[in-house]
């Protein structure tokens, strides 16, 4: 391992860049965390593990491997762990914060390419993309899910990425000072993409590899649905008129059309069809509610802008 004095590390990215801290949010990762920490130490001045209430020996293994460990007493979700890492970085002399998964899926040797756009002054957030000019061997269902989540995030966010869900990221000092996250759970990656522009943070992607060992701990469908729920909440906050107003308007139009047909049928035949009439009323009510929700949220947003 090359010897670096803290703060002037080169770490292969070509230029001194102040202190680099790698933070690894973890939940029950005793199997992989030791080797991840050891490898990451080669590219950072400090490696931190945020142990989010693990019930296994994640914290102990991480410490043995040379990481600084911060423990949450109970499991609070990834966003809370990312917030802890950001807070630690803010209160220290960290210049670049790198986030890395603790399950061995990311290759710490990719860290220098994430640092480079920041040290060269080209970006504030660098995302390690699994889909940018690299052929990643990702199980098909997972790759599909990741693409759907990226598509949904790109619909609502101003910044467009090829991999919105990658947990492998680097943040400049400016980002560390600007961001902390409100969302619980696993939409934190998408939330960054939503908030980058308003915080005036430039996002860039660089290609990274990813490895899959056996089955993941969580079901891709259950986990993906939770993330999608978070992304839809973000979109509804960002563009309420499109999110609620457009479907509301469409439902209202269908309801009115349906009602018109019922009335016409009654005029022509004298028969009144209760089922279609109730359906028309239901569509009109739901459509109006959604339309007004969109209008009201849009108005509130304009006022507090």
Ligand X SMILES: Nc1nc2c(ncn2[C@@H]2O[C@H](COP(=O)(O)OP(=O)(O)O)[C@@H](O)[C@H]2O)c(=O)[nH]1
Interface contacts to Mg ion, rule CB under 5 A: 103, 105
Sorted by sequence, the CB contacts under 8 Å of residue 210 that are 6+ apart come out as 105, 106, 130, 136, 138
Residue number with CB closer to Mg ion (103 or 205): 103
Residue number with CB closer to ligand X (124 or 189): 189
What does 191 interact with, of Mg ion, ligand X, none (CB < 5 to 8 A by kind)? none
Distances (CA, A) of 19 to 7, 47, 116, 294: 4, 11, 14, 46
What does 102 interact with, of ligand X, Mg ion, none (CB < 5 to 8 A by kind)? ligand X
Q: Which residues pair with 50 in a beta bridge?
A: 25, 70
* 139 interacts with ligand X by CB under 6 A: no
What does 36 interact with, of Mg ion, ligand X, none (CB < 5 to 8 A by kind)? none
Q: Rule CB under 6 A: which of 75-134 touch ligand X?
A: 75, 77-78, 81, 101-103, 105
Distances (CA, A) of 202 to 17, 113, 116, 158, 184: 18, 16, 14, 11, 24
Instruction: Pick one of 34, 167, 230, 287: the residue that binds ligand X (CB under 6 A).
Output: 167
Task: Cite the DSSP H helix spans in the chain.
Answer: 33-41, 58-64, 78-90, 111-119, 140-156, 173-178, 188-195, 220-238, 240, 246-269, 274-304
Q: How far is the CB of 138 from Mg ion (least distance, A)?
A: 11
* 29 interacts with ligand X by CB under 6 A: yes
What does 78 interact with, of Mg ion, ligand X, none (CB < 5 to 8 A by kind)? ligand X
Letters for 8-27 (x = contact with ligand X by CB under 6 A, - = none) are -----------------xxx
Residue number with CB closer to ligand X (176 or 291): 176
Q: How far is the CB of 217 from ligand X (least distance, A)?
A: 5
Per-residue burial over 102-138, b if 16 or more Cβ lie within 10 Å, else e, is: bbbbbbbebbbbbbbbbbeeebbbbbbbbbbeeebeb
Q: What is the torsion angle, in degrees rounded to the nearest 10, for the CA atoms of residue 288, residue 289, residue 295 and residue 298?
A: -150
Letters for 37-56 (x = contact with ligand X by CB under 6 A, - = none) are -------------x-x----
Distance CA(186)–CA(175), nearest Å, equals: 19
Instruction: Pick one of 7, 216, 229, 237: the residue that binds ligand X (CB under 6 A).
Output: 216
Token pair 């680099």 is at which residue? 20
Q: Three-class SS of residue 271?
A: coil
Q: How far is the CB of 236 from ligand X (least distance, A)?
A: 23
- The answer to whether residues 40 and 66 touch, using CB atoms and an 8 Å cutoff, is no
**Binding segment (CB under 6 A) for ligand X, from list 4-12, 118-126, 210-218, 288-296:** 210-218
Q: How far is the CB of 250 from ligand X (least distance, A)?
A: 34
Which residues contact ligand X (rule: CB under 6 A)?
Answer: 25-27, 29, 50, 52, 75, 77-78, 81, 101-103, 105, 167, 216-218
């Amino acid at each position: 391992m090359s010897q670096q004095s803290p703060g002037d590390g080169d770490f292969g990215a070509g230029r001194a860049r102040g202190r680099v801290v790698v933070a690894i949010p973890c939940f029950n990762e005793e199997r992989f965390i030791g080797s991840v920490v050891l490898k990451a130490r080669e590219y950072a001045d400090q490696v931190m593990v945020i142990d989010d209430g693990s019930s296994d020996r994640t914290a102990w293994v991480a410490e043995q491997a040379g990481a600084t460990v911060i423990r949450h007493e109970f499991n609070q979700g990834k966003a809370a762990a990312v917030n802890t890492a950001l807070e630690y970085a803010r209160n220290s002399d960290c210049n670049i914060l790198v986030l890395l998964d603790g399950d061995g899926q990311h290759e710490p040797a990719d860290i220098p390419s994430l640092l480079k756009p920041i040290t060269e002054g080209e970006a504030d957030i660098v995302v390690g993309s699994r889909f940018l000019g690299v052929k990643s061997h990702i199980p098909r269902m997972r790759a599909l899910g990741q693409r759907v989540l990226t598509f949904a995030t790109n619909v609502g966010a101003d910044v467009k990425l090829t991999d919105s869900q990658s947990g492998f990221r680097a943040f400049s000092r400016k980002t560390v000072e600007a961001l902390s996250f409100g969302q619980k759970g696993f939409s934190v990656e998408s939330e960054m993409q939503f908030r980058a522009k308003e915080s005036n943070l430039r996002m860039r992607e660089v290609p990274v590899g990813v490895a899959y060992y056996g089955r993941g701990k969580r079901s891709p469908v259950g986990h993906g649905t939770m993330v999608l729920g978070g992304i839809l909440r973000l979109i509804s906050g960002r563009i309420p008129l499109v999110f609620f107003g457009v479907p509301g308007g469409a439902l209202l139009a269908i309801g009115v059309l349906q009602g018109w047909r019922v009335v016409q049928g009654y005029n022509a035949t004298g028969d009144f069809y209760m089922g279609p009439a109730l359906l028309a009323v239901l569509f009109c009510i739901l459509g109006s509610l959604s339309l007004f929700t969109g209008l009201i949220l849009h108005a509130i947003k304009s006022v507090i802008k």
